[in-house]
Amino acid sequence: MNARTETAVIQTALQHASDHHLSNAHLDALEEETIFILREVAAAFERPTLLFSGGKDSLVMLKCAEKAFGAGRIPYPLLMIDTGHNFPEVTDFRDLRAKELGAELIVRSVEDSMARGTVRLAHEGESRNVHQSVTLLEAIDEFRFDALIGGARRDEEKARAKERIFSHRDSFGQWQPKAQRPELWTLFNTRLQPGEHFRVFPISNWTELDVWQYIARENIALPSIYYTHQREVVDRRGLLVPVTELTPPRDGETVQLRDVRFRTVGDITCTCPVESLAATADDIVIETLAAEVSERGATRMDDKTSDASMEKRKKDGYF
Amino acid sequence: MTTLAPHATAPQTATGPIDTRSALRLITCGSVDDGKSTLIGRLLVDSKAVLQDHLAGVQRHGQTDLALLTDGLSAEREQGITIDVAYRYFSTETRKFIIGDAPGHEQYTRNMVTAASSADAAVVLVDATKLAWADAALKLLPQTRRHSLLLKLLRVPSVVFAINKLDAVEDSAVAFEHIGAALREFAAQAGIPVTAVVPISALKGWNVVDASEQTGWCGYSGPTLLEILEDLPVTPTDSTLPFAFAVQWVEKFSSSADTSQGRRIFWGRVATGGVQAGQSVRIMPNGQTAVVAQVLNHVRQPQAVLAGHSAGIVLDREVDVSRGDWLLADDEGEALSGSREIRATVAWLDDETLVPGRVYWALHGHRWVKAKIKRIVHRLDIHTLAEEDANQLEPNAIGHIELALQEPLATLPFAQSRALGSLVLVDTASHRTAGALLVQ
């Protein structure tokens, strides 16, 4: 049914990618749009912040911010909502990059919200991913942030595909998909009532492929787990679930050592790697061109519950 | 690190002609149930841009429902309609596409206008089964007219009419001929330049990506819809007009080492014309003049910059410039003295009716000013295109209005300059974006 695996298709696609128009002019246009939006946030808001997880999309945004404002001059702090279930390679990298840039890094953790009693888990092993929303809203309240820049892309998921670049949130942090503000030309209506804020998505129009081509072009350093490495996993209904203290094998599952990389990195309890030998960004560009399954489809356990799960979470204040 | 000396020796070369082969921003519009979401699904599936898990997600009762590829909100799936624009991305052998799937419902016209304001091209879908296709003098649906008019007002460069569901009418050749004639007649009357009229079946996939299996289907032997789209130009930037630049953000440094004589960098996007060192500019609204000492491109490299691109401008002297001000070519600035009154075409997008006397926020470039609706000059009847008297504009109406501004704005007719001629109105109470203004 899907002919993407056919060698001819891949060959042609590869030719496109190396084509000047698709690699450079196209990436230049995306970079320029992103930088324009990053500057608009700096100018239009009083207390913006840039969500920074150490993942590939936030590293691309950070690269654009460096270009927009000059090295060491990003005019907003970086914010990380920590579930406590992170891959250490990613958090270490996050801290290193923030230090290199001389940027202020604010970390707020779901575990603190649990200690305060504002986050209650249904059961011990529940994914903390959805609970990030609570901690995020608490951080917004604490710092009175009026704009949160996020690295979400419209190609990730259907609810995201519907979202404006400047996305209004009410005082409960809720997205109201039926009442989105028209977004005409580049005249961004950034007016807020007290207690409201904006989520801003400067890389909305980038695709997973664009991100990898840009990482390759700009030589952006990434946490090591984005590239091939050997890891203990169990094959659970087609997903390669990493074996960790938090995600032990279930009864009857066989632990295997496989060559894998992560296409997306998030909470350990809901992020899976894919089988891959790709060791460089260029290798990943080739794999992405040939991919048959979407980034989230291949890697996220939490999006499978319902077609509208992302939309529901966003209405609750999730990014 | 870029040096910011006023007379840097780095080369100042123009960014060159706009690459016409870069991504095409395309929207689909037209009335409800004309098959817009299905058409996009068809484009994505037939051009092999859909991944397996997404395709698996749109199976219903053993059938593939292509519309479900883009209708991503639960309310949309509940009601089976498109509420807001979904943006999708795909490439063919020759170009990249960004598609905005705009809703057809009149109630969500604002979302269609959102998608159209940044589009290089639009496909207006027309459902053959909903029209009296056997009648040579058939009437088009109101939303087909409304959307086509909005495309014209917003200056979307290419408009393609795709007559859909021709597989489901008895005599597809007659239907194609009659509907095509009605579309061409309406377009001629309204002054809409038509790029092409193409017969398709989004459901069957005829003439969308692949040509119909029957040669000469509907008496048509031209290119498929995708072939037409692959050849369309992107929106030309107004680089031949005089220089105009809205100041987006003023960068100041505490460290004097970075800027010569404490100068600041004015960042923004070149709306029209181009800018390079040595050029004289006039600052609006205060009317002061200065000379451009240096121009940086979007990534802070010294370079002349043309319309459509971001630039950082350093002036040769200390002048009062803040966010929202415009830098204009000197002689042009003199002519564009700014006015406190403007007349504009408005696409009214709010659920609340527009009434004379109300004050709104108006956003022009990066400047906010208060604007009072002085008078509704007339409303456009979308059926007859007649200008009729009106004392209010209902949601989704198109009309002409006069506004009084709290401060003068340097505007040009939208027909001359998209950037200087466009504004949005924002409700001061709800903060909703209520109207799109196109200066006459």
Q: What is the pLDDT of residues B293-341, one digit of tens each?
A: 999 999 999 999 999 999 999 999 989 999 999 999 987 666 676 789 9
Q: Summarize the confidence of residues B241-245 as an average pLDDT.
A: 93
Task: Give the per-residue pLDDT at B213.
Answer: 81
Question: A215 in helix, strand or coil?
Answer: helix
Q: Which two tokens stand for residue B356?
A: 């004379």
Q: Summarize the confidence of residues B204-209 as an average pLDDT.
A: 93
Shortest distance between the Cα of B182 and any Cα of chain A, in A, equals 30
Residue B55 has pLDDT above 80, yes or no: no
Edge-to-edge strands of the sheet including B24-30?
B86-91, B96-101, B24-30, B121-127, B158-164, B196-199
Contact assignment for A36 to B248 by CB distance below 8 Å: yes
pLDDT tier for residue A291 given thresholds of 50, 70 and 90? confident
Mean of the per-residue pLDDT values of chain B: 86
pLDDT tier for residue B131 given thresholds of 50, 70 and 90? very high
pTM score = 0.89
pLDDT tens-digit profile of A298-316? 666 654 444 556 677 666 6
Q: Does B155 touch chain A (CB under 8 A)?
A: no
Task: Give the per-residue pLDDT at A127.
Answer: 76
pLDDT over 90 for what percent of chain B? 61
Contact assignment for A43 to B323 by CB distance below 8 Å: yes
Residue A65 has pLDDT above 90, yes or no: yes
Q: Does A159 touch chain B (CB under 8 A)?
A: yes
Partners of residue A39 in chain B, C-beta under 8 Å: 248-249, 267, 310
Q: Does A311 touch chain B (CB under 8 A)?
A: yes
Q: Summarize the confidence of residues A151-164 as an average pLDDT.
A: 87
Q: Summarize the confidence of residues A162-180 as an average pLDDT.
A: 90
Task: Give the per-residue pLDDT at B86.
Answer: 81
Task: Please state which of the ranges A13-17, A48-52, B238-242 shows the lowest mean pLDDT.
Answer: A13-17
Q: Tell me whether the omega of the peptide bond preceding residue B285 falls within 30 degrees of 0, making it cis.
A: yes
Q: How many contacts (CB atoms, under 8 Å) link A and B?
A: 169
Q: Which of B63-67, B95-99, B274-278: highest mean pLDDT?
A: B274-278
Task: Please state which of the ranges B71-80, B310-319, B340-349 shows the lowest mean pLDDT.
Answer: B71-80
- What radius of gyration, in Å, describes the C-alpha atoms of chain B? 24
Q: Summarize the confidence of residues A200-229 as an average pLDDT.
A: 95
| Residue whose tokens read 């009106």 | B390
- The better pLDDT of the pair A238, A36 is held by A36
Partners of residue A18 in chain B, C-beta under 8 Å: none
Q: Summarize the confidence of residues B80-109 as an average pLDDT.
A: 82
Residue B1 has pLDDT above 60, yes or no: no
B117, B269, B299 ranked by CB distance to A67: nearest: B299
Task: Give the per-residue pLDDT at A21.
Answer: 39
* Cβ within 8 Å of residue B272, ≥6 positions away: B237, B238, B239, B241, B242, B243, B244, B307, B417, B419, B420
Task: Give the per-residue pLDDT at B377.
Answer: 96
Residue B10 has pLDDT above 50, yes or no: no
Distance CA A309, CA B73 (A): 10
Residue A218 has pLDDT above 60, yes or no: yes
Name A82's bridge partners.
Answer: A109
Residue B13 has pLDDT above 50, yes or no: no
Residue A40 has pLDDT above 60, yes or no: yes
Pick the residue of A35, A165, A187 with the most B CBs within 10 A to test the interface with B by mutation.
Answer: A187
pLDDT tier for residue B58 given thresholds of 50, 70 and 90? low
Q: Summarize the confidence of residues B160-176 as an average pLDDT.
A: 96
Task: Give the per-residue pLDDT at B17.
Answer: 33
Contact assignment for A182 to B84 by CB distance below 8 Å: no
pLDDT tens-digit profile of B14-44? 333 333 346 899 999 988 777 888 898 888 8
pLDDT over 70 for what percent of chain B? 87
Residue A61 has pLDDT above 60, yes or no: yes
Q: Summarize the confidence of residues A196-225 as an average pLDDT.
A: 95
Task: Give the per-residue pLDDT at B364.
Answer: 96
B2, B88, B95 ranked by CB distance to A161: nearest: B88
ipTM score of complex: 0.89
A-facing residues of B in 183-222 (CB < 8 A) are: none
pLDDT tier for residue B259 given thresholds of 50, 70 and 90? very low
Residue B287 has pLDDT above 80, yes or no: yes
pLDDT tier for residue B9 given thresholds of 50, 70 and 90? very low
Q: Summarize the confidence of residues B166-194 as an average pLDDT.
A: 95
pLDDT tens-digit profile of A79-131? 999 988 889 999 999 999 999 988 999 999 999 999 999 999 888 777 787 78
Q: Does A32 touch chain B (CB under 8 A)?
A: yes
Task: Give the per-residue pLDDT at A156.
Answer: 86
Q: Summarize the confidence of residues A66-70 as an average pLDDT.
A: 94
| Closest chain B CA to residue A185 | B117
